């Protein structure tokens, strides 16, 4: 990150993600989720309110069956988000923008 000049914009944290996402202490404007797939919905629910308006929540592995239909359906029907699936990736990426 330093070589790319991104240290002021990116933060890495080591810990149990099931607990860590609940205690970030800041409001992210971008999230990339590629952790344990059976926890995708809970990660989203834990970060949903703190994501800044206009922020982007992305999820990997949505077309290869790993993300699960419940998660995909939830995001596609969440009235506070606009979501689409980018299929150019082999495993698919859902890109969801929080409405203002």
Q: What is the pLDDT of residue 22?
A: 87
CATH of the domain at 60: 3.40.50.150
Smallest CA-to-CA distance from 78 within 97, 56, 91, 51 is with 97
Low-confidence ranges of the chain (pLDDT < 70): none
Judge whether 2 lies within some domain: no
Residues of the chain with pLDDT > 90: what percent?
69
Q: What is the pLDDT of residue 11?
A: 81
**Cα 55 to Cα 14: distance, rounded to the nearest angstrom:** 23
**Cα 43 to Cα 71: distance, rounded to the nearest angstrom:** 10
**Cα 31 to Cα 43: distance, rounded to the nearest angstrom:** 10
Q: What is the pLDDT of residue 12?
A: 84
Judge whether 43 lies within some domain: yes
Judge whether 71 lies within some domain: yes
What range does the domain containing 42 cover?
17-98
Q: What is the pLDDT of residue 90?
A: 86
The bridge status of strand 93-98 relative to strand 81-86 is antiparallel
């Amino acid at each position: 990150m330093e070589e790319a000049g991104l240290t002021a914009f990116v933060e890495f944290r080591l810990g149990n993600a099931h607990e860590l996402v609940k205690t970030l202490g800041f409001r992210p404007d971008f999230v990339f989720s590629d952790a344990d797939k059976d926890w995708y919905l809970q990660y989203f629910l834990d970060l949903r309110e703190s994501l800044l308006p206009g922020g982007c929540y992305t999820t990997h592995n949505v077309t290869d069956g790993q993300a699960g239909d419940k998660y995909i359906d939830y995001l596609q029907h969440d009235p506070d988000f606009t979501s689409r699936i980018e299929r150019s990736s082999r495993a698919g990426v859902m890109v969801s923008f929080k409405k203002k």
